[in-house]
């Protein structure tokens, strides 16, 4: 496993990876205030708040984020249009200024409660210990098994209209009926779409009481199953229905099913009806001292809201950990 140690602010920033990852992790085996699993917007934002509060924090960067296939992220003041990789690079660079924050490339494999905190084992076998843990591991999208869908996912097929809608304005949008209550999500998409097509994909459980208002508003409702997604040179051209009919569209909107990251499942954390982690107002899960933020917490999924959630939970942890250290009033 490769690792990266951030130097104190009064020294020049170190960008080269350390030659001996074992030596780096050995230095980290003392009790830390917080270990953060995940270095997406939620994890990095949490680390920034904790570092500025001078809490000893380790961020374990498990690799590409959920939105890695997207060409750009939007809606961030000052960062509109930056790619997911660029946002990650900027976030890591911001953390380099804070000597209390260390970043390690790796993956959290398991969690276990201990008397004074939480034992965190990495996939490499290295062990970290912390007073609190933040899971910023995101979620894994489980796409419907439709040929060609994954090839355009994150670009012309997406789940966040606020993130990608402007770039697909005035196109025909197809909406794939995946989740229950999908009819309620259709009409707001007219903010961007020129025309809307609801693809029921063979489903017969959507009541006519939900479909009739859509038809009245000019939405085409297509009951047949989708055979494949059609793309040309990486760009969405439409979908092919069962029977061969082609429906042209420039955007495909859907809310796919999602699952939690493996570490959440292995830790046995309580999940909600969606299969996402249950947590309280400060993100604490069914395992004491383990908190969850961002998409993994099942809140409104976007990079911007994930970052906000990470920062807010981190602020709460600053208060909790400081009270533990100096005694609550």
Domains present along the chain, CATH in parentheses: 3-140+257-326 (3.50.50.60), 144-253 (3.50.50.60)
Proportion of the chain in helix, strand, coil states, percent, rounded to 5: 30, 30, 45
Confidence of residue 6 (pLDDT cuts 50, 70, 90): very low
Is residue 309's pLDDT more than 70?
yes
Is residue 214's pLDDT more than 70?
yes
Is residue 302's pLDDT more than 90?
no
Average pLDDT over residues 222-249: 97
Average pLDDT over residues 20-40: 70
Number of helices followed by number of strands (H, E) in the chain: 9, 18
Confidence of residue 67 (pLDDT cuts 50, 70, 90): low
- Are the C-beta atoms of 49 and 314 separated by less than 8 Å? yes
Give the pLDDT confidence score for residue 150 in this predicted structure: 95
The structure tokens listed for 219 are 């939405």
Is residue 11's pLDDT more than 80?
no
The structure tokens listed for 300 are 């409104």
Is residue 2's pLDDT more than 70?
no
Give the pLDDT confidence score for residue 139 in this predicted structure: 86
- Total Cβ atoms within 10 A of residue 229: 25
Is residue 13's pLDDT more than 70?
no
| Distant-in-sequence, close-in-space partners of 213: CB < 8 Å, separation ≥ 6 | 183, 187
Higher pLDDT, 309 or 10: 309
Q: Which of 281, 291, 280, 286 is closest to 321 using CA atoms?
A: 291
Of the chain, the percentage scoring pLDDT greater than 90 comes to 68
Q: Which of 296, 280, 287, 272 is closest to 110 using CA atoms?
A: 287
Mean pLDDT check: name the lowest of 47-56, 113-122, 178-187, 194-203: 178-187
**How far apart are alpha carbons 61 and 40 in whole angstroms?**
8
Average pLDDT over residues 28-36: 84
Strands 139-142 and 257-260: antiparallel
Average pLDDT over residues 295-311: 86
Give the pLDDT confidence score for residue 29 in this predicted structure: 55
Burial class (CB in 10 A: 0-12, 13-18, 19+), 151: middle
Buried/exposed 114-140: b ≥16 CB within 10 Å, e otherwise: eeebbebebebebebbbbbbbbbbbbe
Give the pLDDT confidence score for residue 9 in this predicted structure: 36
Average pLDDT over residues 286-315: 90
Average pLDDT over residues 229-247: 97
Is residue 329's pLDDT more than 80?
no
Confidence of residue 12 (pLDDT cuts 50, 70, 90): very low
Mean pLDDT check: name the lowest of 14-28, 174-188, 297-311: 14-28
Residue linked to tokens 């490769």: 2
Is residue 88's pLDDT more than 70?
yes
Burial class (CB in 10 A: 0-12, 13-18, 19+), 197: buried
Strands (DSSP E) contained in the chain are 3-4, 31-37, 57-61, 101-105, 108-114, 117-122, 127-135, 139-142, 157-158, 172-176, 195-199, 220-222, 226-232, 235-241, 246-248, 251-253, 257-260, 290-292
Residue linked to tokens 């047949």: 224
Give the pLDDT confidence score for residue 226 in this predicted structure: 98
Q: Indicate the length of the chain as a whole number.
A: 329
Average pLDDT over residues 294-307: 83
- Total Cβ atoms within 10 A of residue 191: 11
Is residue 37's pLDDT more than 50?
yes
Give the pLDDT confidence score for residue 19 in this predicted structure: 29
Average pLDDT over residues 259-266: 82
Is residue 25's pLDDT more than 60?
no
What is the CA angle 95-99-101, rounded to 5?
A: 55
Q: What is the mean pLDDT of the chain?
A: 88
């Amino acid at each position: 496993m490769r690792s990266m140690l951030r130097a104190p602010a009064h020294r020049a920033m170190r960008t080269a990876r350390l030659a001996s990852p074992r030596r780096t992790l050995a230095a980290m085996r003392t009790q830390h205030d917080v270990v953060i699993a995940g270095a997406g917007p939620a994890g990095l934002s949490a680390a920034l708040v904790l570092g500025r509060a001078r809490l000893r924090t380790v961020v374990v960067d498990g690799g590409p984020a959920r939105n890695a296939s997207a060409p750009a992220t939007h809606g961030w003041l000052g960062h509109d249009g930056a790619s997911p990789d660029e946002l990650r690079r900027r976030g890591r660079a911001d953390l380099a200024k804070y000597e209390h924050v260390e970043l390690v490339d790796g993956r959290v494999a398991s969690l276990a409660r201990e008397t004074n905190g939480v034992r965190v084992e990495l996939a490499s076998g290295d062990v970290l210990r912390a007073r609190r843990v933040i899971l910023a591991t995101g979620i894994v999208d489980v796409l419907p098994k439709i040929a060609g869908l994954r090839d355009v996912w994150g670009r012309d097929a997406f789940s966040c209209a606020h993130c990608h809608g402007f770039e697909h304005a005035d196109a025909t949008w197809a909406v794939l009926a995946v989740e229950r209550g999908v009819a309620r999500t259709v009409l707001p998409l007219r903010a961007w779409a020129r025309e809307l097509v609801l693809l029921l994909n063979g489903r017969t459980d959507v009541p006519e009481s939900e479909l009739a208002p859509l038809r009245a508003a000019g939405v085409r409702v297509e009951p047949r199953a989708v055979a494949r997604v059609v793309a040309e040179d990486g760009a969405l051209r439409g979908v092919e229905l069962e029977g061969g009919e082609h429906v042209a569209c420039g955007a495909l909107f859907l809310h796919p099913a999602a699952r939690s990251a493996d570490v959440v499942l292995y830790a046995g954390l309580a999940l909600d009806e969606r299969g996402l982690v249950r947590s309280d107002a400060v993100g604490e899960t069914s395992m004491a001292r383990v908190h969850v933020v961002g998409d993994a917490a099942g809140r409104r999924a976007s990079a911007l809201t994930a970052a906000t959630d990470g920062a807010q939970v981190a602020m709460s942890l600053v208060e909790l950990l400081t009270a533990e250290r100096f005694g609550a009033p």
